Chains A and B, each alone.
Chain A
C-alpha cells in the first residue's frame, strides 16, 4: 500500500504543484493518476520515490513513512518506468534488464539468467539479449523498461506515462499485455497518464486531479463515467460518457444475433444478387472469415477484392456493448459483423438489436 497524507509540494516562487493530497493506492492494485498538464500528477509520483521532496505531509510505503529512509535505498524497493524507457544506451538489453539485481548485489551470471526470463515474460525474444537499445523500436524499448523495473521483483511500481511515446496501435498492444502481466504479478502500482481513455482502460481505480494539485475524484473507471463528482471531472472524463460506459458492459449473450447470408470471393454477380439483403452482401473467405461488404448492383463479373467495402469493424461475441454497437454503426449495410474468438463469422447485429439489449437490462454486469 502507498498512502499520501496531506502531501503538499510548494516551490519557493509560490507555485503550488500538489495541494494537500490524500490518497491511498491499495496493495496489488493499479491506481492511476490522471489529469490535465499542470495538475501535479507527475510531481506526486516523483515524491513517492523522493526524486522530489514534499514540502509538507507524509507518504507511507506499507505504513512506513518514506521521509526517514535513505532515498537511494527507498528507490531500490520501487520499480520505476518512465516515458521514453530511459534505457542505458551503452549497455546491451540483457545488461539493462540486469541493472537492478546487479545493483542489489546479485552475481552477474544469476542476474542475466533472471533477465532472460523476464524478457520472455514481457514478450521480447531471447535473440534481443545482445542487442543495444538503438536497435529496438520504441515499443520494444518500453518492454525492456518494464522488464528492467520488474527484475528486482519489487512490491511497488511507479510508471510515468509508460505508453504515451509509442504509436496508438503499439500502445494498445502494450496496454493489453500489461493488463495481462499485472493480473499475474499483482504489484502495487501507481501510474501517471494524461490520457483518460488509458486510465479508464487500465486502472483498478482512477484518481482525477485538477490544476493546482488537488484531488478531484477517486473512483473505479465505470463509476467515473456514470457518476462524476463534479463538473470538472465530468468535463475531463469527456463527452460521450454514456457511449463509452458501454465499453465496460459485457454483451453476455443478451443481444440477438441474426443469420447472414454470405458469398465467397469469386462468386458470380448473380449469386451475390440472390444472397444480398438490401443493397449489400457480406463476403467471406474459405474459412468463413469476413472480408468486407459488396454491392451486387455495381458488380460486373465475379466478386473481387477490389469490390469490397472495408469500413465495418467486426466485433467479438465476447466483447463489450460498445464494440458491438460500433460494429453495427461502422458497417455500410448497418448490420454489424459478429465473430467468434477465431475470427469466424457468427452472424450480424443491428444497432436496434444492441440498443434493445441495453434498454432491457439497465443493470448490466460490468466488465470488471
Chain B
C-alpha cells in the first residue's frame, strides 16, 4: 500500500499517471479496432445467416488462445520487420484485439438474431427498405447485447493489457513485472489494485452509457414519470 501513497511514484516518465495513460491507450485502441471488425461482421452474420460457423468455431477458438504465448510468437515474427517500438506495440495490440473480437462478435450476432422476427416482418410489410429495417429496428433492438459484448471485451482487454509490459512496453503491467523482478511486493500489489480499479471504473462507465442509450422498452425498466417541477422557493435576502 505504501507504494501507492508515495508521491514520488505519481510523477515522472514512469510515474503511475503515465502508466495508466499508456495502459488506457493500448486498451482503447485495441477495443476500437476489435469493435470495427466484430460489430459489422456480427450484424452481417446475424442478418444474412451466412457464416454462422464462424461464431461457433472461430470465436470459441480465439477464446482459448494463450495470450502470453501468442504475444511472444508475434514479437518474434513481427519485430524484425519494424525497427522501432512498433515491433513490440503491434504484437500487443494484435493479441488484445484477438481477445476482444469473440465476445463482441458473438454478442452482436446473438443480438441481431434475437430481434423479434414479427417486428422485422411488420417493418418490411409496412414498406421499410432493407437499410431502414437495419437502422430503425434491428440495430436499436440488438444494442443491449452489442454493448454488453463490448463491456466484457473491454474488461478482458484492460486486465490483459498488463502483458504488454512483458515485452518491455509501458502500462500498469510495468508495476507487476518490475515489482516481481525487484521482489517489491508492495509495487506488485499497487499494480494489481490499479488494474482492478481501472477495470471497475470502465465497467461502470459502460453500464452507465448502456442505461443512457438503450431504450427502456428493451430493458424493461419502468421509467418513472418526471414529476412536474416544483416551484423552487428562493430564500429572500433582505
Contact = CB atoms under 8 A, between A and B. Distances in A.
A80 B125 contact: yes
Nearest to A131: B217
A178 interface: no
B129 A86 contact: no
A86 B116 contact: yes
B118 interface: yes
Given A82-B121, A83-B118, A89 B126 contact: no
Nearest to B122: A86
Nearest to A89: B217
A193 B140 CA distance: 32
Interface string A75-106: 11000101111111111100000011001000
Interface string B111-132: 0000010111111111111000
Contacts of B129: 72
Contacts of A92: 217
A91 B214 CA distance: 11
A101 B129 CA distance: 15
Nearest to B125: A80
Contact of B119 (A49, A73, A88, A130): A88
Interface residues of B, number: 24
A128 interface: no
B85 interface: no
B125 A99 contact: no
The interface residues of chain B, by DSSP majority, are classed as helix
A75 B118 contact: no
Contact of A75 (B120, B127, B137, B140): B127
Given A82-B118, A82-B122, A86-B116, A133 B217 contact: yes
A80 B122 contact: yes
Nearest to B119: A86
Contacts of A84: 116, 118
Contacts of A60: none
A85 B124 CA distance: 13
Interface of B: 116, 118-129, 136-137, 140-141, 215-218, 220, 222, 225
Interface of A: 49, 51, 72-76, 80, 82-92, 99-100, 103, 130, 132-135, 145, 148-149, 158
Given A88-B217, A92-B217, A158-B125, 10 more contacts: A49-B125, A72-B127, A75-B125, A75-B126, A82-B118, A86-B118, A89-B141, A90-B217, A100-B126, A130-B225
**In the complex, the 6 A-B pairs of residues with the closest C-beta atoms, listed nearest first:** A86-B122, A132-B217, A76-B127, A86-B118, A75-B127, A90-B215
29 contacts: A51-B121, A72-B127, A72-B129, A75-B124, A76-B127, A80-B125, A80-B126, A82-B118, A82-B121, A82-B122, A85-B122, A86-B118, A86-B119, A86-B121, A86-B122, A88-B119, A88-B141, A89-B119, A89-B218, A90-B215, A90-B217, A99-B126, A103-B127, A130-B225, A132-B215, A132-B220, A133-B217, A135-B222, A158-B125
